[in-house]
Amino acid sequence: MAATSALATTRIRFRRDAARLTEGQAKDVRGAYAGMIGLRESDERSYARFASLHGLPLPIECQHDSPLFLPWHRAFLFFFERAMRDRVLDATLPWWNWATPPGQIGSIPAAFADEQAAGAANPLFSAKVSERALANGEEVGLPAPGPSTFRRAGIGGRRLPRAQEVADLVEISDYPTFQRRLEELHGQVHVWTGGHMGQVPWAGFDPVFWAHHAMVDRLWRLWQIRHNAPGPPPELWGQALPPFPMTVARTLDVTLLGYDYASSTSSTPVS
């Protein structure tokens, strides 16, 4: 892990475990989400606009079952987090550690599962689906599960990935196999969460979507450290990742994007 990137002296920021946020850190995340949610959906800075890039209204831009799965979503989260920090400078994306230890059934972190936070509606619990996305579904007879996001976590006999599965995943040295299995675990978590998260067109509207994908991105970062390799083959590095002004090459080193992953952080001035 790094304190600054190799090419810049600016401090990198840390994405933290959603279950270990201080109240101040959680407040920053809530504030950033609330700020984005409060913007009109036609505003390119809005939560609805980012959620729509992954789903409705068309076009659906996300990359799945593709060698671009990890780079595309890394770019997606990067620009979403920049938009968060435009609202609350110190906010960073938290990651949802869905790797479940033995004997535990796993759950959504309280920061995202609690309906209320600090005496008000928690913007990390649910968000409205954009009007244009709802209209797109209605016009083809495939309405959204609901106008605001909800979850049906764990129904259907499903389970979250086991901690050992995730540990074994990072040990896989062959990148295509690693990526394929990581995407499978990613899909399991989407479907385990259920509700809007359970289908591609609506998933991005659920506030926990971003914490889920931060975990996916973190596992790629851990794989890169473990194997001292970027992952995607050089033939892919020049590939653009529309609609983002970024290539695969630009996604390969998170420190060059100004962030890294921590379990938790704590700081104090020195004087």
Binding site for another protein (CB under 8 A): 56-58, 60, 63-66, 68, 136-137, 140, 142, 152, 155-158, 180, 184, 186-188, 190-191, 194, 198-202, 242
Secondary structure element (H or E) that encloses residue 181, with its range: helix 175-193
Give Cα separations from 41 to 36, 51, 82 (angstroms): 9, 10, 17
Give min distance, CB of 156 to another protein, in A: 3
Secondary structure element (H or E) that encloses residue 240, with its range: strand 240-241
CA–CA separation, 200 and 155 (whole Å): 18
Give Cα separations from 141 to 14, 58, 137, 138, 161 (angstroms): 43, 15, 6, 5, 34
Judged by beta carbon, residue 47 or residue 202, the one nearer another protein is: 202
Judged by beta carbon, residue 84 or residue 241, the one nearer another protein is: 241
Judged by beta carbon, residue 31 or residue 57, the one nearer another protein is: 57
Give min distance, CB of 111 to another protein, in A: 24
Amino acid at residue number 116: Q
Instruction: Return phi, psi of residue 244, to 5°.
Output: -90, 140
Judged by beta carbon, residue 191 or residue 222, the one nearer another protein is: 191
Number of helices and strands in the chain (H, E): 10, 6
Q: Comparing C-alpha atoms, which of 170, 171, 135 is closest to residue 58?
A: 135
Give min distance, CB of 190 to another protein, in A: 5
Give min distance, CB of 180 to another protein, in A: 6
**Torsion sign, CA atoms 81, 85, 88, 91:** positive
Give min distance, CB of 91 to another protein, in A: 28
Q: What's the number of CA atoms in the CB half-sphere (13 Å) around residue 219?
A: 30
Report angle CA 205, 44, 41 to the nearest 5 degrees. Answer: 50
Judged by beta carbon, residue 121 or residue 142, the one nearer another protein is: 142
Judged by beta carbon, residue 148 or residue 199, the one nearer another protein is: 199
Give min distance, CB of 120 to another protein, in A: 31
Tokens standing for residue 114: 């609690």
Give min distance, CB of 187 to another protein, in A: 4
Judged by beta carbon, residue 27 or residue 162, the one nearer another protein is: 162
Residue 259 DSSP SS3: strand
